[in-house]
Structure 1
Amino acid sequence: MEDLPRRAVVVEFAGARGGVAPLSWGQASIWRLTTWRGADDPYFNMPWVLPVYGRRDLGAVVGAVRRLVERHETLRTNFRPGAGGMAQHVTRSGRLVVEVVEGDGGERPMRLARRVAEGLAARVFDYAAELPVRCAVVTVAGRPRAVAFGLSHLAADGGALDLLAADWRDLLGGTEGAAPVWQPMDQARFEREGAGAARGERAFRHWREVLERVPRSMFDYAPGTGEERRFVRVRMVSVALGVAAEAVAARWRVSSASVLTVASAVVLSVLTGHRRVAMQLIAANRHDARIGGLVGPAAQDGVFALEVPVGAMLGEVTRAGHRQALTAYRHALYEPLGLMAMREELGRERGGPIDLSAYFNDTRGGGDWPDLPAVEPGDPAAIAALTARTTFSVVGSWEHVDATTAQFITGQARDACELHLLADTAYLPRTTVYTLLRGMETLLVRAVAGDVPLDTVATLCGITPVERPPAGNVPGPGHGSRAGAGPRPGS
């Protein structure tokens, strides 16, 4: 790719407005993560690719890029410190340099564009001086075929990317929808007064009520040595899990996201011996009509607590967990520094930091798997047979990952449940990671045949409970003071 012909095109843009405002709560959440990772770490940059629909010349494609930047203030925002803390500085007009990369025809344009996008995202952004977007047009025989972006997570999350993709199709076709009416500066103002501020206060109250009754740590047992690169991410791709999750979700009248959330909480409960499970759920925060149309980061963490009583059945716990998850998502919009202060205060009251290092993150855009095979949901044997197709792979490993001991993450696969577990191997050895993933599959496939007593899950799923102290509840991982500071793959 380095030898491919390249040239630069300067795009001059002029948006409807500029200005300075405090960070929105979504921006502030991401800013904390980027600063924790360090100024030289591009972890929260996102490679992103869009196709060029139809036969468009370079002028039309570059023009669509220009209008995309003009319409969405988040793409022309710098982030600089001020007297009141970090602020967003929206640039009304300026220049964006767009690379033009000419493919040689030996690689499919979209695949080449993905490699170009990864290169654009691999470099850190100078947030004070550089816009949070880099762009390149991939051409073949002079014809634009795809556009590659490197985006900072400060500019967009998964929901924002969906909005940009829809806008891109229209702009490339020569049409424009109504101008965006809700931008990050508007969101920041909303959050600091009236209904927005009141919503944040309600979220604080909910978090405090939950944190007063959950274990101070799910992982209150002695850690092992862990691997040299201590954090490992394992991916399971399971058609059986997807089919089973949808079957029991329909039976219990809940969402497949709730089924997976509760199943992950149950296997953690069995492993750790805690009958009350606390997890963080990464919330898109887009159920509000205004935020639903916001191109900018809006995702934050919600706090989820699940009771796993002695003698309970999986169905009743899943229905209760569904209600708890909806409550968690409703209370996931708040000022993050204030929440950190509240958590620290409550930790002092309870005698030590409150560790919330277990997560569930559903990154599926539509909340389902549209291309699952057609299997009769009432045929447990047929669904169980699908487990033979389940595969596992290691996605990566890292020396440091903030505030994560166990993070379950759904992937983007459409024809199977792609489920990742990012784990601290000092507390969850790699063999345990595989056991928990396979255990979720086993649990839900078994639930297709009939409800499952939760007291049988350890034997059913082959989970050996850890040895915990006979009394007391002291934080294990030691990074519980960071509220929701875990990785956000696809958020």
Structure 2
Amino acid sequence: MATTRVENFEGFKDRHGPLTWGQRHYWTILAGHPMNRRQFSLRQHWRIPAGANLELVCSAVRTLVERHEALRTHIFFHGDGEPIQRVRGCGSFQITVRDVGHEATEADAEEAAGDMAAQDFRLNEEFPIRFQVLLADGEPVFLAVVVSHLAVDGYACGVLEGEFMEVVRGDKDLAPPSKQPLDWAEKERSSAGASVNRRSLTYFDELLRAHPVSLFPRDNAMENVGREGFPVVLGHGVGLGAKISELSGRWKSPVSAVALASLVRSLAHHSATDVFPLGLTSSNRFLPGADGYVGMLAQNTALGVRTAGKSTRELAGEIRRSQMAAYQSAAYDQGDLDALLEVAHPGADRVGFGAVSHFVNFQHGYVFPPRPDGIAPELPPYFLWHGDRVPYEIPRFGIIISSDDHDLGVRIFADPAALPVSKVESIIKTFFDEFIGH
């Protein structure tokens, strides 16, 4: 049985203005997936500290909404014009409260978040965040949260969770937010922001001139293949997380560069080229003033890859240097980038966002999902399985590499018109074999 609480806020300023570059970048991704935008909502569930009552939990939630303008903003889209955001100075939001009985589990919290994410956000009518408190015999156990990726990124979710915990525990007074999204947008439109934008556009222009070849171009004759969602293949390398950490220390390169070195060697092996651009996602959290910022900062960037004649160790060092250049050019006006690509690189392999049509993410400290039934835990050194299809339509492929102190994982979803499942499996196997060989 669920009930709904209405929480009010007032006393703040109404504000409006353009989207930030990060928001505008993500809007192009949403615009490319008009039928399944709900897949881009971020799902969270936070365990509520023992002893906190419902009133305290709801008060902490209200504190988050009052502190961060991103959580009380409506976003309006006017046909082909630029979207704008309007911050509400007074208003209300809802918190669903549900008692699940004797025990509330992680699975209950995940299900609650999934249920809230089933409907896309109507961003011109509702705030971009939803809350549900799960009770067990009347006591709060979990707060399930769903928030639009257009409003915040993954790092911002961590900021919100940390602040929620501090308020509930009464640990300390929270410092004022570093910036609000409209302040960030104003900074981007300053002369300093224009300089950052020009540098990024120059970087993309030069990179695509030097690395023009597309990886795994799509077979346009199979244009309807992706309608059911892209197939997903996952791989789990037992003990290879420790191996990648050891190589990182020995080669004096970050674990992400070591992982990417083996990945690009595998991609080159299974494609027709050893020179290509590789799309990356950058959180942009290294930018001044970004610490503690609750908003959307992540944008896609790219690095250039040349694998011929290089050892995996040499590639790791080269990728480390390329990563720094890529991240320094990961903040830009999406409209300006689109205009550049249309004029200077009309044949570039991109579809609606970023500079190339695929992306790679790396996560360290990742908590791996349970291995599927039927796979023995002692099976060395790695194993593969198939996950549920994902409802993407426009990237060539996406790769997420994950590691902890022991294991290494990879998840690839791919348009089968560009990358058949059998080739995805081969790419993952070669990727793991690269580590085993060192």
Question: Do both proteins adopt the same fold according to a TM-score greater than 0.5, normalized to the shorter chain?
Answer: yes
CA offset at residue 394 of structure 1?
Answer: 1.8
Aligned to 2:360: 360
Unaligned regions of 5+ residues in structure 2, if any?
351-355, 369-376
CA offset at residue 230 of structure 1?
Answer: 6.0
Aligned to 2:372: none
Count of residues in correspondence between the two structures: 421
CA offset at residue 204 of structure 1?
Answer: 0.6
CA offset at residue 207 of structure 1?
Answer: 0.6
2:162 to 156, 159, 166: 166
Q: Is 1:203 the counterpart of 2:200 in the alignment? A: yes
Cα separation, 2, equivalents of 1:220 and 1:23 = 32
Farther off after superposition, 318-327 or 230-239: 230-239
Cα separation, 2, equivalents of 1:314 and 1:439 = 13
Secondary structure, counterpart of 1:85 in structure 2: coil
Secondary structure, counterpart of 1:48 in structure 2: strand
Aligned to 1:409: 400
Give 1:177's aligned amino acid. Answer: L
Give yes or no for contact 1:237–1:390 (8 Å, CA) kept in 2. yes
Aligned to 1:33: 29
Give yes or no for contact 1:347–1:354 (8 Å, CA) kept in 2. no
Cα separation, 2, equivalents of 1:370 and 1:70 = 32
TM-score by length of 1: 0.80
Farther off after superposition, 158-167 or 289-298: 289-298
Cα separation, 1, equivalents of 2:118 and 2:144 = 13
Cα separation, 1, equivalents of 2:214 and 2:134 = 49
Compared CA separation, residues 316 and 413, structure 1 to 2 (3 A): closer
Farther off after superposition, 122-131 or 265-274: 265-274
Secondary structure, counterpart of 2:192 in structure 1: helix
Farther off after superposition, 235-244 or 80-89: 80-89
Q: How does 1:23-102 map to 2 (within 5 A)?
A: 23-38=19-34, 41-81=37-77, 85-102=82-99
1:430 to 400, 416, 421: 421
% identical aligned pairs: 25
Farther off after superposition, 41-50 or 8-17: 8-17
Aligned to 1:470: none
Give yes or no for contact 2:227–2:393 (8 Å, CA) kept in 1. no
CA offset at residue 179 of structure 1?
Answer: 1.1
Aligned to 1:341: 339
Secondary structure, counterpart of 1:274 in structure 2: coil
1:135 to 131, 136, 139: 131
Compared CA separation, residues 393 and 302, structure 1 to 2 (3 A): same
CA offset at residue 146 of structure 1?
Answer: 0.9
Cα separation, 1, equivalents of 2:403 and 2:291 = 21
Aligned to 2:191: 194
Unaligned regions of 5+ residues in structure 1, if any?
372-384, 448-491
Aligned to 2:301: 302
Q: How does 1:138-153 map to 2 (within 5 A)?
A: 138-153=134-149
Cα separation, 2, equivalents of 1:218 and 1:110 = 39
Cα separation, 1, equivalents of 2:134 and 2:196 = 44
Give yes or no for contact 2:8–2:90 (8 Å, CA) kept in 1. yes
Cα separation, 2, equivalents of 1:17 and 1:414 = 47
Compared CA separation, residues 429 and 40, structure 1 to 2 (3 A): closer
Give yes or no for contact 1:278–1:358 (8 Å, CA) kept in 2. no
CA offset at residue 127 of structure 1?
Answer: 0.7
TM-score by length of 2: 0.90
Cα separation, 2, equivalents of 1:347 and 1:444 = 36
CA offset at residue 415 of structure 1?
Answer: 4.6
CA offset at residue 283 of structure 1?
Answer: 0.2
CA offset at residue 422 of structure 1?
Answer: 1.2
Aligned to 1:419: 410
Compared CA separation, residues 333 and 215, structure 1 to 2 (3 A): same
Aligned to 1:456: none
CA offset at residue 319 of structure 1?
Answer: 0.7
